[in-house]
Amino acid sequence: MPNIAFITGITGQDGSYLAELLLEKGYAVHGLVHRPDGLASSNIGHLVSDAALLNKRLFLHNGAFEDATHLRRIISRAQPTEFYHLAGQSSPRLSLELPETTVDSIGMATLRLLEIIRDLPNPPKFLYASSAEVFGSPVHSPQDELTPLNPTTPYGAAKAFSQQMARIYRTAYGLQTCSVILYNHESPRRSGQFVTMKVARAAARIKKGLQHELQLGSLTGRRDWGWAPDYVKGMWMILQNSPVDDFILATGVLHTVEDFVSAAFKAVDLNWRDHVKFDPGLVTTVEPVSPCGNPGKARRILGWENTVPFDAMVAKLVESELRKT
């Protein structure tokens, strides 16, 4: 049977890298898109413009998670062997302002998809992209696959619900459903709303004289930052493992926002202290405690590794922004 993948969130950072990876491996790839008019300028614009791929090995479907009937038709026709659910509201901060929208776009969307694949004659392997936000303020660090879930934002709670539902469908219905708990992972395709891209873009613009200062909130927050293409490869590796199971993908190393800022400005030979200003309005009201993941299970069972060190990763982001500005 040919390998057929279905990806939600295909135009996002992870979805675009995943589409590339699967196409390289000979898959037929189906993707769900919400704004077809913006595809040319999206992260998969180069794939869409390739006549050898579009509608031959890459198939894009308009759709919305609110329309379960339409989703059912699309997925039934695609007959995927692997399903990667990556889409959903992606901001913990925004979820505090829009909790209902967040829970619906993450939690209920996942449940609808699980119900759809449960009814298929040949249900695909299903991977849900969860987040370290499910741990909220964890009782220990680093966190592993057995760490209790303790979300502190609507985003984290919705992710935890989706993750638990994927586990329930595996144990109750015998489906090959699992979750990957992803810690922060970056690339030049990261959305500009994230602080990492805000910093990388500012460092590039300040270097070129297009901007003079950067306003940030607290620099003491710590994150476990990795390289996005490695994490996407890990997703694929998880669905090749038998039996399917839940995994954490992380580096196991914490860095502060200040570390990130310092590395970004170092990449353009500038002293960050000359340009970064504190803005109390940007301080997050709920700050997770030590969101550091233990990737031991993924290393041991899958042979997975994050291959790009922290400073090199930050430099790659800044270099990409220098080419854009």
- Active site residue ranges: 131, 133, 155
> What distance in Å separates the CA atoms of residue 298 and residue 219, rounded to the nearest whole number?
30
Distances (CA, A) of 321 to 42, 204, 208, 312, 315: 16, 6, 11, 14, 10
Closest CA to 42 of 22, 60, 23, 21: 60
Cα torsion at 209, 211, 216, 220 (round to 10°)? -10
> What distance in Å separates the CA atoms of residue 29 and residue 55, rounded to the nearest whole number?
10
* Token pair belonging to 274: 């000359």
Phi, psi dihedrals of residue 314, rounded to the nearest 5°: -60, -40
Beta-sheet pairing, 4-8 with 28-33: parallel
> What distance in Å separates the CA atoms of residue 202 and residue 276, rounded to the nearest whole number?
10
> What distance in Å separates the CA atoms of residue 4 and residue 271, rounded to the nearest whole number?
49
* Token pair belonging to 59: 């198939």
CB neighbourhood size of 201 (10 A)? 22
Return the amino acid letter for 160: A
Is the distance from CB of 208 to CB of 322 less than 8 angstroms? Answer: yes
| DSSP-assigned beta bridge partners for residue 8 | 32, 85
